[in-house]
Structure 1
Amino acid sequence: MTIDIFFDFLSKYLKEIDGVVRQKIEIEKSNSGLNRNSSSPYGFISFYPYEIDLIVSAEQRGECFEISVELMNQEGGDSESVWQFEGTLSVVLAEMEADFNFVIPMICNRLNKTRR
């Protein structure tokens, strides 16, 4: 099933982001997870002590996926859209890979802004 392939990819993607961000910013701790059971499935990483979340939301319509990535504080406010796109599974995975190096500086900049 394509959603399972997407979530396998997303799990690895989030772990890779977490590892790279930890090399660049002092993170006390982080946790990540996937929510496959909601009507809008998503994956997340929470960074502490910054209390900032990276959220990757996925909506599947037939063969098409719509992906939204945003940074927000853990109270659900102060949201910042990172990117949003849609396409078939192969297009979405390729876009996420291609934008990986774009996402890292955005996360680091947001964490640095929060630290001040």
Structure 2
Amino acid sequence: MGEITQRGLIDGSAGDHDDGPANAPDSLDDLKALVASGRVEFPDRMRQIGTYAFRHPHEVAFLSIQELAKVTETSPSSVHRFAKMVGFSDYGALRKLFQRHIAGLLRDN
């Protein structure tokens, strides 16, 4: 899996805070496409969370919000805001997307 190299997660641009897209992505590929599109600007803490999530999807599928905050050196409220920014109601809904991704990989093997 390649690194996401869109403006908001990699180059350090933060821009104005956006409330996120109207609908949550249906798959990890859809989430990556949303991030790569540049439609959502990611402040530094959100970038840390997103970068970690794409590099470690197997971990994100099972980490609690507190655990993800700890490994990304952010806060649970930042993790929650990241989930909301990309269209989910909360971190639990985002984590389910990662769980579905992992389940799909297991089915394919």
- What is the TM-score normalised by the length of structure 2? 0.30
Report 1 or 2 for greater relative contact order, CA contacts < 8 Å, sequence distance ≥ 6. Answer: 2
